Amino acid sequence: MCGIYGITENNPNLIRKIINLCSHRGPDGSEIYNDERITLGHNLLAITSSPAEGIQPWLSNNGNVLVYNGEIFNYEDILLKYKKKYLPKTSCDTELLSWLLDNFSYQEVISNTIDSMHAFAYYNKKQNELILSRDHVGIKPIFFAETKSGIIFSSEIKALVDQVKTSNIIDRLALACTCMLGVNVLRQTVFKGIYKVLPGETIIYDLMKKKIKNSFRTLIKPNSNNKFDSDEFYFKTSKAINNSTLGLRKFGIFLSGGIDSSVMAYELNKSIKPLNTFTNIMDPNIIINNEDHNSDATIASKFSKHENFNHQEVRITPEIISKHWDNTINTIEEPRYNWNLPMYYYTNKILSESNIVVTMAGDIGDEIFGGYPHYYRMMQMKNKPKSWSDFILLWMRKFAAPVNLNMKFNYNDLHQLLLTALPEELWNPDDLANSAMALDCITTVSEDFFSRNDRFGMKFSMEGRFPLASKEFMQYCLSINSKFKIGTDKTETKIPVKLSYKDKIPSYILLKQKTGWSVPITSWLQDSDVLKNKYLQTINTEDGIKEILSKNNYKDNEKRIIITWMLRTWAQQYKMSI
């Protein structure tokens, strides 16, 4: 993938500094455009064309300028649609996006024409506008802040920290959201004064008046107006996955052993040979409440042998978690409650060392197929919420056992804040489960799953793709009523996938009880001196360590342990204060 940067002033020295800071996002080239109003910069990771064809900033035929981070997965369909009007000079989709933005309205292009993962900035000279756009589900990021001359933006927060005087102060609302929901889904980041373009949002910024003059969001709505058809579902799934194989670089697949990644690998194996798959395995393994932390790895290994994948197990140990802890927290930029982050960081490192440039993951499958228990519980509710406000309260309860900090902010305050931050158009009172799925897609999926893939993948100059997150495919899935996805028992989930792939995917995958792809870190903390010492070095105190890690209490305190450790590490890495 790439990195995009800009400031609404003539300042190429600053943008060059940012390009160099974020050089990991694009080792194949970098360029700058500047005039009296704006400076735009770009790091290039060439995927679908040669570096020479993909150099940005891209100057359009109308004299406008584009910096773009993404892929247009319906590229061939658009070429066919406009074959009499558009004559490409390259095979690069940047050229196509530039032409579309020159000739059609922003909303027509973004909402109705391209099916993409993207973050881009488009400088319309004639209109004196800067357009910042993020794809329908927030796969690719854009962060921005106000400056004396207007705004500055970047693909990564770290590029803005030195440009925003308040950035070393913790934004208390963002921190509260992180601690109560496990991830920050608000516009403001935890760095005070630095903001994000929201998932699906396009902002039109007036360069003369130095303010946002308009915005719109492209969202996948839970229409729930279709029935399930097995043949149609299989066709749509296969098409979405195979449309994601654009590119000239080496692919690698995160194979978890679950249904979604297995379906993805099955389809990709038809066109990508050899198919390189990677799975984490815990060492030492821990079995807690009959849950084997390597059960998914065992299934993935069995499936890879059956399908003849080029499979590699990535061994995760307490030593690896400890060694990569600080770099993980620094790279992820915003803290969140997810103790698997060092595993994801290290796994991306291993893929990069195997010369992988494009990674594929099955994320968002649970959210559009109905794979989580709380969707089943919503289906079974007798007293259903009657308003958007009540629904948001219900949705918040799924996070359970929030981590409470000593700050004047509570659950009800966050509820009121979310009502203004989350779009009510995702509310379908006739289908609570699909409403929750749609909301999960632009909150936890976007700001946890996709953001970690972007930071960790790009840290090692790799592009991350999520075939199931195609706009067309997501809309198709969220138009299928949830009663066709979820049965009358909590084990009856993801019914469309199981029925459509019953003769293609082995039953030991389709019928396997859902388990987490997780590091047993709280158990390792009890038994590993390496992790204990790392924890103590970060916390810098032994007060309460015996109680927190005791056999009787650690389970009740595990969230407090991890979020405290991560927050302390993050604050140290970025020199933060409240």
Note the pLDDT tens digit of each residue in 288-329: 777 788 999 999 999 999 999 999 999 999 999 999 999 999
**One domain, residues 53 and 179:** yes
**One domain, residues 269 and 302:** yes
Alpha-carbon distance of 195 to 480, in angstroms, equals: 34
pLDDT number for residue 518: 84
Rg (CA), the chain: 23
Q: Using an 8 Å Cβ cutoff, are 380 and 484 in contact?
A: no
Residue 276 lies in a domain: yes
**One domain, residues 374 and 330:** no
**One domain, residues 450 and 434:** no
**354-380 tens-digit pLDDT:** 999 999 999 999 999 999 999 999 999
**231: pLDDT strictly greater than 90:** yes
pLDDT number for residue 547: 41
User: Range with the lowest mean pLDDT among 33-37, 49-53, 391-395, 400-404?
Assistant: 400-404
**One domain, residues 237 and 248:** yes
The H-assigned helical ranges of 442-553 are 444, 451-459, 471-477, 495-500, 507-510, 521-527, 529-539, 545-548
pLDDT number for residue 506: 96
Residue 8 lies in a domain: yes
Q: Find the mean pLDDT for residues 199-217.
A: 97
**99: pLDDT strictly greater than 80:** yes
**One domain, residues 48 and 37:** yes
Q: Find the mean pLDDT for residues 564-570.
A: 87
pLDDT number for residue 411: 82
User: Range with the lowest mean pLDDT among 176-180, 203-207, 538-542?
Assistant: 538-542
> Over pLDDT 90: what percentage of the chain?
76
**One domain, residues 51 and 41:** yes
Residue 49 lies in a domain: yes
**548: pLDDT strictly greater than 70:** no
Q: Which domain holds residue 426?
A: 370-399+406-441
**514: pLDDT strictly greater than 80:** no
**One domain, residues 575 and 456:** no
**One domain, residues 379 and 469:** no
pLDDT number for residue 527: 85
CA distances from 75 to 48, 52, 62, 392 (A): 11, 20, 21, 37
pLDDT number for residue 553: 46
Number of domains in the chain: 4
Alpha-carbon distance of 387 to 429, in angstroms, equals: 8
CATH code assigned at 103: 3.60.20.10
pLDDT number for residue 401: 55
pLDDT number for residue 145: 98
**One domain, residues 248 and 261:** yes
**111-154 tens-digit pLDDT:** 999 999 999 999 999 999 999 999 999 999 999 999 999 999 99
Using the 3D structure, point to which of 191, 217, 243 is the last residue of a domain. Answer: 217
Residue 577 lies in a domain: yes
Binned at pLDDT 50, 70 and 90, residue 554 comes out as very low
To the nearest whole number, what is the mean pLDDT of the chain?
91
**One domain, residues 474 and 563:** no
Nearest to 348 by CA among 461, 449, 269: 461
**One domain, residues 498 and 351:** yes
**549: pLDDT strictly greater than 50:** no
Q: Find the mean pLDDT for residues 271-284.
A: 94
